[in-house]
Amino acid sequence: MKTDRYGSIHLLLVLALVSVVASCKPTYTPTTTVVPPIKPEHTPTPTPVAGEPEPPTAEPMLSGCPEADWLYQLDYTHSLVLDQPGQFHLEMVAEPGAAFYLVIHEDGTIDSQDLENAVTVVFTGTIQDCEVHGENTLSADIFGLCADGMATLQINEYYAQGFLFTETCPEGTGTLGLESLVSAPENQFDFDLRQESDQQVVEMDAGMLSFRYTWTLREYGMMPIPLIPQAQE
């Protein structure tokens, strides 16, 4: 378990969000534990190369840093709850199967360039007698170094845009946009590649605010090798 200034920053940000949502009067219109690895619906998308073969199936190495460019999957869970009985109950949860991707290169460098690294975070809850719902895309840039079987990853998460909420109250339904109010963290972790699925956890339970985030690193397979067109005679 790891707790630090991350918790206090999130508390301030989410409290600000609650304050804004509760005080805004939108224009109303008529109402019309260790998680086992999950195979995501969307697989990583390296830069396409005409005629490239399917990635070969390979047995896990589990022996340290790879000797060739190797694709890894970082399974991700994201759960935050803000609760004040009688006032509000809000949840931010990443959709099941969320994952980021990265490549550990032959020289030990790590990056996530040209990979599809975006997950959906859903925001739901109630504020007094109103229900709120919204979602956003959370992306991640990942880089680092691998040495002696340990991969040190810098994971910089960020939201693509501000949250857009639908607020449903007894008076009617409206929309509310919150630009740049909710931030995402920057974390650095050491993952042991000699373990089949090494996991890092950040969590806190402070009564009104609780959250749990996990990152689980596992092998995905070799990078596709582009075919070099043969010169025509």
Query: Could you give the dihedral angle defined by the CA atoms of residues 34, 35, 39 and 43, in that order, rounded to the nearest 10 degrees?
Result: -80
C-alpha 183/C-alpha 161 separation (Å) is 10
| Reported confidence tier of residue 64, pLDDT bands at 50, 70, 90 | confident
pLDDT at position 223 is 63
User: 221 - beta bridge partners?
Assistant: 71
Whether 67 and 146 have beta carbons less than 8 Å apart is answered as no
H helices of 1-101, where?
5-23
Phi, psi dihedral angles at 35 (to 5 degrees): -85, 125
Q: Mean pLDDT across the stretch 128-134?
A: 92
> The dihedral of CA 150, 154, 155, 160: what is its sign?
negative
Neighbours of 78 (CB within 10 A): 21
Structure tokens at 24: 């805004």
pLDDT at position 161 is 75
Phi, psi dihedral angles at 121 (to 5 degrees): -110, 125
Whether 154 and 100 have beta carbons less than 8 Å apart is answered as no
pLDDT at position 160 is 77
pLDDT (tens digit, 9 = 90+) per residue, 12-40? 344 444 444 444 333 333 332 333 333 33
Q: Mean pLDDT across the stretch 151-174?
A: 89
Beta strands in 69-185 (DSSP E): 70-84, 88-94, 99-104, 109-111, 118-127, 130-147, 150-159, 163-169, 172-178
pLDDT at position 110 is 97
Structure tokens at 9: 């920053």
Domain range summary for the chain, segments of one domain joined by +: 5-26+68-222
pLDDT at position 77 is 95
pLDDT (tens digit, 9 = 90+) per residue, 101-128? 999 999 999 999 889 899 999 999 998 8
Q: Mean pLDDT across the stretch 71-99?
A: 93
Closest by alpha carbon to 104, among 140, 141, 144, 74?
A: 144
Q: Mean pLDDT across the stretch 191-218?
A: 92
